[in-house]
């Protein structure tokens, strides 16, 4: 028997869910949609992985962009994708969803000859099943003969290896052909045929989970207690009845005379925002405890809390909590009935689900606009040449990076749109500015609505916001700048984008060992918790220690600090590199004019070729990379660089 390195293998549906963003509107009137991985088994595989289980998914996806999205997102979530097969002939399934009001959630399934619907016995790898402690099958995938055979094969295999079978009844009448194509929202249509199919499956199931209506279809009775008794006649498995805001009730042995006499798990009083996906979140929470042998009451607590998160948020898999988020909620609760408005939970959700990021960040900063205009004016060059120079900067960064992670660029959209395309194709880490060049108080380059503007920016781009801020500024100036920084952070969070806040203090006052740390303390007090800080280089290790102490105390989930250049001499910046080793929170650098200013001047003046400009920038960038790597080696060796 192979080592069981997996806790759960979920089998069946995987789709791309497109959620209408206009809450309360008809699907007919939706103007924009949010995208997420969907489908009951896919959601459960992601949910259980977030909760600390080692999960895998067996499904099919199309050989196209949405299929790759599902596979890539599963991998980002830590889900094993060994069982995800690419179907070259079929499209990935789609689900289109909306929130009409608190009771109605229109849902359309686009599943005609879709990839996951073609799952068959050949897709079940015995070696993969041998690796898991349990599998999760879904009732919907028993609606077609070939996918039913696939799940039955997996059930036999896992039992042969001493594992368990859990079933999520997951009843969707129109996927059984019992409702119209536009009636995906329908949750219950009585059918003796469906009941017969499920009754043949239930004897092989160790855990049976469903809503009251799903247990009705499984047990063939619209009296919940009678339906559960009918299930018990054919199955010794643990039966879990989900009861919405009332929580759940579980039956491990004989069925009592009242539902209330089972093992109960009370619900959590939250505002219902969207019920779609709540069952998958519930199942994820229950499995977290069940697979690890936790008491049933604890399984219920995990499950009900996860369900509460899901109904209080919009999407499905994206909204399932992480283990850190869940345990914080179970310990502290929330002052908000609408959990989506709880700032602490939202922050925990964001920082524990954002994409992994390699560090250190070693970036060539060429997002400068005014400075390059000044250089062009000084040598008599047209501003129209600036975009071409920015593409050369990308080539220099790519030359140094050589495909290694952590290398990146800072690049703007005004002169650098084509350069941004090149950076994305090169796989570079990208930060893009939103501030109006030189503005103090802070203003945004786009004008109007920042959020509406950022909708067009790719999710891979980190939003960078520069603010000239000093503790000696007037209170009025500080409050105005803080308001704009909070607006920027709020826009980024709502759009699922990372934000890097750049603070430059030394241009507007004295820079002491306490200056920047005091600024960070105040900004944290105001509710700012950016993903990254970008701070001017300082040659005093004590200053860096104080900065690191503030971050450690106020937001230990912060990605860290990158050091900016400010056109300082290379020797000064390398001194700052060495001083920054005083704290582990400094995670890299972003140097600009010290690298590109002279090459830009020469190139714009027509004194050098493209290749010469690239080579000179690459040479200067490489020198900083080598200095940073020497710093890191010294840190590891416990010596000064």
* 21-65 confidence digits (pLDDT tens): 898 999 999 999 999 999 999 999 999 999 999 999 999 999 999
Handedness of CA 45, 46, 48, 52 (dihedral sign): positive
The pLDDT of residue 184: 66
- Name the token pair of 548: 């690191």
The pLDDT of residue 557: 97
The predicted model gives 11-25 an average pLDDT of: 93
pLDDT per residue over 210-239, tens digit each?
999 999 999 999 999 999 999 999 999 999
Cα separation, 330 vs 51, whole angstroms = 13
Cα separation, 287 vs 77, whole angstroms = 17
Question: pLDDT at residue 277 above 90?
Answer: no
The predicted model gives 66-88 an average pLDDT of: 98
Rounded-to-10 torsion of CA 475, 481, 485, 491 = 120
Question: pLDDT at residue 558 above 80?
Answer: yes
Cα separation, 218 vs 197, whole angstroms = 9
Question: pLDDT at residue 641 above 70?
Answer: no
Question: pLDDT at residue 274 above 50?
Answer: yes
Strand stretches in 129-186, DSSP E:
132-138, 164-168
- Is residue 107 helix, strand or coil? strand
463 forms bridges with which residues in the sheet?
Answer: 432, 499
Strand stretches in 21-113, DSSP E:
33-38, 55-62, 80-87, 93-97, 107-110
The predicted model gives 558-567 an average pLDDT of: 95
Q: Do 204 and 212 contact (CB within 8 A), yes or no?
A: no
Name the one residue in this structure whose structure tokens are 């067996």: 58
The pLDDT of residue 531: 98
Question: pLDDT at residue 189 above 80?
Answer: yes
Strand stretches in 481-554, DSSP E:
499-504, 532-536
| Element of type H or E holding 363 | strand 361-365
| Element of type H or E holding 241 | strand 238-242
The pLDDT of residue 180: 76
Cα separation, 595 vs 613, whole angstroms = 11
Cα separation, 45 vs 193, whole angstroms = 29
SS (H, E, C) 572-612: HHHHHHHHHCCCCCEEEEEECHHHHHHHHHHHHCCCCCHHH
User: For strand 461-468 and strand 499-504, is the pairing parallel, antiparallel, or unpaired?
Assistant: parallel
Percentage, residues of the chain above pLDDT 70: 99
Cα separation, 272 vs 245, whole angstroms = 9
Helix extents (H) in 355-514: 370-379, 386-401, 417-425, 450-454, 475-495
pLDDT band at 448 (very low <50, low <70, confident <90, very high): confident
Instruction: Report the mean per-residue pLDDT for the chain.
Output: 94
Helices then strands, each counted (H, E), the chain = 21, 21
Percentage, residues of the chain above pLDDT 90: 85
- Is residue 259 helix, strand or coil? helix
pLDDT band at 395 (very low <50, low <70, confident <90, very high): very high
- Name, in order, each residue with C-beta under 8 angstroms of 103's C-beta and a sequence gap of 6 or more: none
Rounded-to-10 torsion of CA 30, 454, 67, 421 = 140
Greatest C-alpha distance within the chain: 91
Q: Which strand ranges, in their side-by-side order, compose the sheet holding 107-110?
A: 33-38, 15-20, 93-97, 107-110
Name the one residue in this structure whose structure tokens are 């920082």: 351
Q: Do 144 and 19 contact (CB within 8 A), yes or no?
A: no
* Gyration radius (Cα) of the chain, Å: 28
The pLDDT of residue 276: 78
The pLDDT of residue 91: 97
């Amino acid at each position: 028997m192979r080592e069981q390195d997996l806790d759960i293998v979920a089998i069946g549906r995987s789709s791309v869910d497109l959620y209408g963003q206009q809450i309360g509107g008809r699907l007919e009137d939706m103007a924009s949609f949010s995208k997420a991985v969907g489908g009951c088994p896919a959601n459960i595989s992601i949910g259980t992985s977030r909760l600390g289980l080692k999960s895998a998914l067996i499904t099919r996806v199309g050989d196209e962009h949405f299929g790759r999205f599902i596979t890539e997102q599963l991998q980002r979530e830590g889900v094993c994708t060994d069982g995800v097969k690419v179907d070259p002939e079929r499209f990935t399934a789609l689900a289109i969803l909306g929130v009409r009001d608190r009771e109605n959630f229109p849902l359309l399934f686009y599943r005609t000859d879709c990839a996951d619907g073609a799952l068959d016995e050949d897709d079940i790898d015995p070696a993969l099943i041998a690796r898991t402690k349990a599998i999760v099958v879904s009732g919907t995938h028993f609606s077609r003969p070939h996918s039913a055979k696939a799940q039955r094969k997996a059930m036999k295999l896992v039992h042969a290896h001493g594992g368990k079978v859990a079933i999520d009844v997951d009843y969707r009448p129109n996927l059984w052909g019992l409702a119209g194509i536009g009636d995906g929202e329908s949750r219950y249509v009585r059918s003796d045929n469906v009941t017969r199919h499920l009754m043949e499956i239930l004897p092989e199931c160790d855990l049976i989970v469903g809503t009251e209506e799903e247990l009705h279809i499984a047990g063939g009775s619209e009296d919940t207690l009678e339906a559960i008794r009918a299930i018990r006649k054919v199955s010794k498995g643990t039966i879990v009845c989900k009861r919405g805001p009332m929580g759940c009730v579980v039956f491990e042995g004989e069925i009592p005379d009242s539902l209330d006499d089972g093992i109960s798990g009370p619900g959590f009083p939250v505002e219902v925002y969207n019920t779609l996906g709540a069952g998958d979140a519930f199942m994820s929470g229950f499995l977290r405890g069940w697979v690890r042998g936790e008491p049933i009451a604890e399984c219920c607590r995990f499950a009900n809390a996860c369900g509460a998160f899901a109904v209080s948020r919009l999407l499905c898999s994206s909204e399932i909590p992480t283990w850190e988020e869940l345990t914080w909620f179970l310990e502290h609760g929330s002052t908000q009935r609408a959990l989506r408005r709880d700032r602490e939970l939202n922050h925990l959700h964001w920082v524990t689900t954002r994409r992994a990021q390699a560090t250190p960040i070693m970036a060539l900063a060429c997002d400068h606009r005014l400075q390059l205009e000044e250089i062009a004016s000084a040598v008599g060059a047209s501003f129209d040449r600036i975009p071409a120079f920015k593409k050369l900067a990308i080539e220099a960064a790519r030359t140094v990076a050589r495909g290694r992670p952590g290398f990146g660029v800072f690049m703007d959209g005004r002169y650098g749109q084509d350069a941004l395309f090149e950076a994305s194709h090169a796989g570079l880490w990208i930060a893009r500015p939103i501030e109006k060049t030189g503005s103090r108080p802070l203003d945004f380059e786009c004008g109007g609505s920042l959020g509406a503007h950022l909708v067009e920016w790719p999710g891979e781009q980190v939003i960078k916001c520069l603010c000239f801020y000093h503790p000696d500024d007037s209170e009025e100036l500080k409050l105005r700048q803080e308001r704009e920084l909070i607006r920027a952070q709020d826009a980024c969070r709502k759009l699922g984008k990372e934000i890097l806040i750049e603070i430059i203090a030394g241009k507007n006052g004295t820079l002491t060992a306490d200056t920047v740390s005091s600024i960070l303390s105040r900004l944290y007090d105001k509710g700012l918790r950016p993903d990254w800080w970008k701070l001017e280089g300082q040659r005093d290790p004590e200053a860096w220690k104080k900065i690191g102490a503030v971050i450690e105390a106020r937001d230990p989930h912060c990605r860290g600090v990158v050091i900016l250049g400010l056109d300082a001499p290379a020797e000064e910046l390398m001194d700052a590199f060495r001083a920054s080793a005083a704290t582990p929170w400094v995670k890299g650098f972003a140097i600009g004019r010290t690298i590109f200013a002279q090459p830009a001047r020469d190139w714009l003046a027509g004194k050098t070729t493209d290749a010469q400009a690239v080579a000179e920038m690459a040479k200067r960038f490489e020198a900083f990379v080598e200095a940073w790597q020497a710093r890191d080696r010294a840190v590891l060796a416990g010596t000064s660089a």
